[in-house]
Amino acid sequence: MPHNNTDCTLTHFRYPLFTSTYSIVLLFGFPLNSVSLWILLCRNGLKKSVPVIYMANLALSDLLFTLSLPFRIIYFATGRWKLGNALCMIPGTLFAVNIYSSSLFITLISVDRMLAVVYPIRSRSFRTAPVACALSVTVWLFIAGLAVPTAINHPENEDKDCNVTRCFEKYTEEEWKKGFIILCITTFFGILVPFVIILGCTVAVVRQLRGYSMTSSCNTELSKSKIVNLFLSNLLIYAICFIPFHIAFILFGLSRFNILPQIHRDFYFNLQTVTMCMASTNSCLDPLIYYFSSKRIQGGNERQVWTDETTTGTAIILHKLRLYR
pLDDT of residue 324: 37
pLDDT of residue 145: 92
Whether residue 109 is predicted with pLDDT greater than 50 in this model: the reply is: yes
pLDDT of residue 195: 95
Q: How far is CA 118 from CA 130, 210, 215, in A?
A: 22, 12, 18
pLDDT of residue 297: 36
pLDDT of residue 310: 32
Whether residue 169 is predicted with pLDDT greater than 60 in this model: the reply is: yes
Higher pLDDT, 310 or 87: 87
Q: How far is CA 47 from CA 67, 126, 128, 268, in A?
A: 27, 15, 9, 47
What residue spans define the domains of the chain? 14-301+314-318
For every residue of 262-305, DSSP letters joined together read GGGHHHHHHHHHHHHHHHHTHHHHTHHHHHHTSS-SSSTT--EE
Average pLDDT, the chain: 82
Phi and psi at 128, nearest 5°, equal: -125, 160
Least confident of 48-52, 81-85, 169-173, 211-215: 211-215
Distance CA 73, CA 83 (A): 13
User: Collapsing DSSP states into helix, strand and coil, what is residue 27?
Assistant: helix
> Mean per-residue pLDDT for 226-253?
90
pTM: 0.84
Most confident of 47-51, 121-125, 278-282: 278-282
- Per residue in 200-220, pLDDT (tens digit) is 999 999 888 876 654 444 445
Q: How many CB atoms lie within 10 A of CB 178?
A: 17
Whether residue 63 is predicted with pLDDT greater than 90 in this model: the reply is: yes
In CATH, what class is 14-301+314-318? mainly alpha
